[in-house]
Structure 1
Amino acid sequence: MVMAQSLFIALKQQHPDCHIDVLAPAWSLPLLERMPEVRQGITMPLGHGQFDLRSRIRIGRQLRSHHYDQAIVLPNSWKSSLIPFFARIPKRTGFLGELRRGLLNDVRKLNKTLLTMTVQRFVALSLPDEASQPPTYEFPKLTITTEQQLNVCRKFEITGADFIEIPHPSALLNNLGGSEEVVPIVSKILALCPGAEFGPAKRWPIEHYAAVARQKQQQGWQVWLFGSDKDKAVAERINALSGDICRNFAGNTSLAEAVDLLSLTDAVVSNDSGLMHVAAALDKKLIAVYGSSDPGFTPPLHAAAEIIDLHLDCSPCFKRDCPLGHTRCLTEIRPEQVLAALDT
């Protein structure tokens, strides 16, 4: 969803007056709300892999009243093309796949040699079929308001005295209590994002995360842990190994709250995960640790993001678990490498 913002930006550049609505899973709507190019997110009630033809017909009919001019279908599945078809949207654009001709009437052939990155494939669908490839693209940029930052700080009882650096996004917290006095300056904030939905072969060892946390805490930084409910146990182990010095938000926030909290941090260390892309779109100093996945295919979209990848002969293998049983692509990335990257 974060990478899709580059498509939305491209559409706005080509058609400044266009209205962009996005049909997407409910969990992703907070991200869309933080993309100024998007007019509204529309909840897609069907889950991944769920067919339910009757519901797709119903949703398509409900969308007819919007009189959309074009639908751009990012998934390559046959079923993802049904709703735009039933909505009778005149131009239905997407890549050829799963016998979608007829459902789509602006069908593109995907040249994986030219379009090597996911973001390139998304943006290419905004352009005429005859446009030169690969396309140029803008980086995603999520917009967080002062009100959103204040709300999340109130909820989690974060005060202005928790921060350093002026100007800093969190300087707004000076007024949390209604006072306009300058607050004490204490520390910078490092965010650690140790989760990876895909599997263990994308997760940097918890011992390494704990070592980074300890070192940065000794340098006067605060350390915040982020992740979904599935990452809660991993985050708790990192915190325990580091001596309970971290503020652990993993499993305790909504996605919207996690995004708004990340906007207050100074630097982020992350596996190849959704939060990595969020951090890049928030313009954070980002150290991205890669193991089984390919940083050339789905890199963090930020010019200053630093990718740490050992380029072993066995990687990227794109496996959930290391097929060789050693996960050297991750274990041999030492905490010292990440700490050095944070200090540059």
Structure 2
Amino acid sequence: MADPSGAVRNPGRILVVGPSWVGDMVMAQSLLMTLKQRHPGCRVGVVAPAWSQPILERMEEVDEVVPLDVGHGQVGWSVRHAAARGVRGRYDHAIVLPRSWKSALVPFMARIPHRVGFLGEQRLVLLNERRRLDKTVLNQTVKRFVSLGLSEEEAAEGNFAIPRPRLRVDPDNLVELRLRYELSSRPAIGMMPGAEYGPAKQWPLQYFHELAAALVTEGYEVRVLGGGKDVAAGEAICQDLPHAVNLCGKTRLADAVDLLADCQQVVTNDSGLMHVAAAVGSRVHAIYGSSSPDYTPPLTANAEIHYLGLTCSPCFERNCPLGHTNCLNTLMPERVLNAIHAAK
């Protein structure tokens, strides 16, 4: 049954088409939490890239994961057809978070009666409730996600609650990780030097190294986390430092959840792992360069933003268009170290 805005009242079975990035997937939990709060007893499934399944399994709100093993930017007709067949007749309502036409294919092919998402990429037929995105009201990624779980009237007001993501931690897995990588009993500080978008979001590795050296001297263990692309960065940060461990490329995404939960504080670029750290309760020191903390902030009260707000910031470019990256190069390690001390 639909209300005058077209939104389904009390949907019992909801399929969410999730985003394609780690940070966005964590932020999508705010929508899932909203659905469970507003519709007690509803069943929530998530269509998402296969890599994201370990993150989704740490969300209490997810009843089913529908992995979509399609490369970024690929159509993958056969894969999407198979996923649609698997969920056909099992969901009443679909929420499509990405704005691409490909992302709306599975709910359409599965013949889910009500399909809502933002206008974009000529998907007029694929969605039967198409909403215009007012970026002045929905000025954060997480607000856009949550708004699609609300009536259009409530979403338009923009003053609705945003639940903070909270990922489940596996203490048994953490014990295994501590043994496997011979982690010490020192209090741990996490560092995440990667940022998939590009160099204009990456604090200089030398600054990470200087900060790590100071922290090791003060009795901390530094854990550097990231993917395979961050291995060399991790080596540069840990070079010649005892009690600094490069875990980049060695751990699964689920392992990162547990290792970050074990860190007292973390220092991170604006990245997917920043949102993971926020969702497990670590004290987050978030460094912003070309991006904006107003748009994708860590969703936690336990965070400090390090952002210079230069006249050229935020530019949202992969590489500094002015060639100097002063938004990051003039943000010195001493500032972050002092903030770590103040948060003890």
What is the identity, as a one-letter code, of the residue corresponding to 1:189?
Answer: A
Q: Distance in 2 between matches of 1:280 and 1:271?
A: 13
Which residue of structure 1 lines up, in the alignment, with residue 132 of structure 2?
A: 109
- Counterpart for residue 234 of structure 1: 233
Q: CA deviation at 1:341?
A: 0.9
Which structure 2 residues correspond to residues 71-110 of structure 1 after superposition, within 5 A?
71-110=94-133
The 5 A counterparts of 1:1-344 are 1-65=25-89, 67-131=90-154, 132-158=157-183, 162-163=184-185, 187-240=186-239, 243-344=241-342
Question: How far apart, CA to CA, are the structure 1 residues paired with 2:269 and 2:212?
Answer: 15
Matched-pair contact (CA < 8 Å) for 1:115–1:134: no
Distance in 2, matches of 1:142 and 1:289, equals 22
Gaps of at least 5 residues in structure 2 are 1-24
Tell me, yes or no, if the aligned pair for 1:124 and 1:134 is still in contact at 8 Å. no
Q: More displaced, 214-223 or 97-106? A: 97-106
Q: One-letter code of the match for 2:265?
A: A
SS of 1:144's equivalent in the other structure is coil
Whether contact under 8 Å (2:68, 2:80) holds in the other structure is no
Deviation digits for residues 283-337 of structure 1, max 9, x if unmatched?
A: 1111000001111111111112101000001111111111111110001001110
The Cα of 1:55 is off from its aligned counterpart by: 3.5
Question: AA paired with 2:44?
Answer: I
Q: What RMSD, in angstroms, separates the aligned Cα atoms of the two structures?
A: 1.4
Structure 1 contact 231–250 (Cα < 8 Å) conserved = yes
1:56 CA drift (Å): 2.4
Q: Which residue of 2 aligns with 1:178?
A: none
* Contact 1:193 1:269 survives alignment (8 Å): yes
AA aligned opposite 1:84: P
* Deviation of the 1:245 alpha carbon: 4.2
8 Å Cα contact 1:225/1:248 also seen in 2: yes
After TM superposition, the structure 1 stretch with the greater mean CA deviation from structure 2, 95-104 or 46-55, is 46-55
Distance 1:55 1:6 in 2: 27
Q: Give the drift of 1:244.
A: 4.9
* Structure-2 separation of matches of 1:60 and 1:134: 34
Give deviations 1:255-289, integer Å, cap 9, x for gaps.
11122111111110000011101000011111000
**Structure 2 CA distance, aligned partners of 1:236 and 1:89?**
49
Tell me the amino acid that sits aligned with residue 5 of structure 1: Q
Following the alignment from structure 1 to structure 2, what is the Cα–Cα distance between the partners of residues 26 and 192? 26
Structure 1 residues 64 and 97: alpha-carbon distance in aligned structure 2, compared to 1, 3 A threshold: same
> What is the alpha-carbon distance in structure 1 between the residues aligned to residue 34 and residue 146 of structure 2?
7
Kept in 2, the 8 Å contact 1:235–1:248? The answer is yes
- Distance between the aligned counterparts of 2:122 and 2:232, measured in 1? 43
Distance 1:42 1:252 in 2: 26
Native 8 Å contact 1:120 1:134 kept in 2: no
Of stretches 248-257 and 330-339 in structure 1, the one that deviates more from structure 2 is 248-257
Instruction: Supply the distance in 1 between the matched residues of 2:217 and 2:64 (Cα, whole angstroms).
Output: 44
The one-letter code matched in structure 2 to 1:268 is: V
Task: Provide the C-alpha distance between the structure 1 equivalents of 2:76 and 2:203, rounded to a whole number of angstroms.
Answer: 38
Cα deviation for residue 214 of structure 1 reads 1.0
Question: 4+ residue stretches of structure 1 with deviation over 6 A?
Answer: none
Distance change >3 Å, CA 249–CA 8, structure 1 → 2: same
d(CA) in 1 for partners of 2:80 and 2:211? Answer: 48
Q: Which amino acid aligns with 1:25?
A: P
Pair 40,62 (structure 1): closer, same or farther in 2 beyond 3 Å: closer
Shift of 1:53: 3.0
The one-letter amino acid paired with 1:234 is A
What CA distance in whole angstroms lies between the structure 1 residues aligned with 2:190 and 2:40? 36
Percent of aligned positions that are identical: 49
- How many angstroms does 1:16 deviate by? 1.6
Aligned-pair CA distance for 1:57: 2.7
